[in-house]
Amino acid sequence: MKVTFLGTGTSQGVPVIACTCEVCRSLDFRDKRLRTSIHIEIAGKSLVIDTGPDFRQQMLREYVKRLDAVVFTHAHRDHTSGLDDVRAYNFKQNMDMPVYGTHDVLEQLKAEYDYIFADRNYPGLPRLDLIEITDAVFSIDDVKITPLPVMHFKLPVLGFRFGNFSYITDANFIPDSTLEKLVGTEVLVLNALQREKHISHFNLEEALAMVEKIKPARTFFTHISHKLGLHAEVAKQLPDGVSLAFDGLQVEVD
C-alpha cells in the first residue's frame, strides 16, 4: 500500500493567517501544512481519510484521478468541510461516493450539509452513499479496516488500521483495548500538536511516550501546530524511527 500525506497541519493550518512567528514565515516547504488528511492506495482502491477544508487543493496537488471512498475519523470541521468537492468524482466516475463514519459523524454530516440531503434534487449536488461503521472491523471490497477507538478530550474518535499501517489523528488518550489492536503495527501515524500540553491532542512528549509503548518500526507525527517549531529543528531532536510528516510525503507499507 502507498500512503500520501495530503495535509499535516492542525485546524488552522500552517502558516496561520496573520501570524508572524518564525514557523509561519519559514520558507521550508515542510513548514507549509494543510489540514490533516491522508490518501491511501491499497488493493487497487483509492481512499481518503477525512476531507478537510483543503480537500480540493490536495486532490489537485496529488492528481488523484479516482476516489473510491471517504472514511471519517470524526466530524470536526477541519476534517469534514471539504466534502462538497467530492462531486468532481461523482461526475467523473458516475457513481455516488461511499462515505464511512460512525452514527454520530453521519448525523453531523446530514446537519452540516442539509442541502445535499434535502429532497430537492438540485442538479450538481454531491451524491453521497452514507455507510455507518462502529468499532467493529469492516471492509471496503477487499480492504479490511480495523477501527481504533481513541478519545479527543471528551469526543470519541476513530483511528484506522490497514494491515501493518495504523493512523490516529486527533487524540489525547488511547485506551488499552485499542493499544491491543495496535500490537505489531509496523508504521504508526499519530498526532503531536505542540510542545505545551493541550486539552484534546497529544503534545510531543506524550506522543513520544505512546511510541515507546506501541513500538512501531516507523512513526510519523501529524496534525502539527506552528507552535511545535520549525520542521528542520524538531526533526533533529526525534529518536530513530520517528519523523515529522509533511505535506506530500509518501510512505510505502508492505
CA distances (Å), 137 to each of 49, 98, 143, in order? 16, 17, 11
Return the number of the residue (32 or 181) whose C-beta is nearest Zn ion.
32
x/- string (CB under 5 A) for Zn ion, residues 170-209? x---------------------------------------
Task: Pick the stretch among 21-29, 61-69, 100-108, 116-124 that binds Zn ion (CB under 5 A).
Answer: 21-29
Binders of Zn ion among 90-129, rule CB under 5 A? none
Task: Pick the stretch among 108-116, 140-148, 158-166, 224-232 that binds Zn ion (CB under 5 A).
Answer: 224-232
Return the number of the residue (1 or 37) whose C-beta is nearest Zn ion.
37
Site membership for Zn ion, residue 24 (CB under 5 A): yes
Nearest-approach distance from CB 79 to Zn ion, in angstroms? 6
Site membership for Zn ion, residue 32 (CB under 5 A): no
Return the number of the residue (24 or 249) whose C-beta is nearest Zn ion.
24
Parallel, antiparallel, or unpaired: how do β-strands 143-152 and 218-222 relate?
unpaired
Task: Pick the stretch among 20-28, 43-51, 115-123, 231-239 that binds Zn ion (CB under 5 A).
Answer: 20-28
Contact indicator for 207, 191 with CB cutoff of 8 Å: yes
Contact indicator for 60, 70 with CB cutoff of 8 Å: no
Cis peptide before 15 (omega within 30 of 0): yes
Return the number of the residue (143 or 229) whose C-beta is nearest Zn ion.
229
Contact indicator for 130, 99 with CB cutoff of 8 Å: yes
CB environment 4-19: b (16+ within 10 A), e (fewer): bbbbbbbbebbbbeee
Site membership for Zn ion, residue 39 (CB under 5 A): no
Rounded Cα gap, residues 245 and 223, in angstroms: 9
Contact indicator for 128, 97 with CB cutoff of 8 Å: yes
Site membership for Zn ion, residue 226 (CB under 5 A): yes
Binders of Zn ion among 154-173, rule CB under 5 A? 170
Contact indicator for 224, 193 with CB cutoff of 8 Å: yes
Nearest CA to 81 out of 106, 50, 123, 105 is that of 50
Rounded Cα gap, residues 240 and 218, in angstroms: 8
Site membership for Zn ion, residue 33 (CB under 5 A): no
Return the number of the residue (104 or 141) whose C-beta is nearest Zn ion.
104
Return the number of the residue (68 or 170) whose C-beta is nearest Zn ion.
170
Dihedral sign for Cα atoms in the order 32, 37, 39, 43: positive
How many Cα atoms within 13 Å fall on the side-chain side of residue 224?
Answer: 29
Question: How many residues make contact with Zn ion (CB under 5 A)?
Answer: 8
Site membership for Zn ion, residue 43 (CB under 5 A): no
**31, 50, 78, 247: which one binds Zn ion (CB under 5 A):** 78
Task: Pick the stretch among 42-50, 75-83, 91-99, 102-110 that binds Zn ion (CB under 5 A).
Answer: 75-83
- Residues forming the site for Zn ion (CB under 5 A): 16, 19, 21, 24, 76, 78, 170, 226
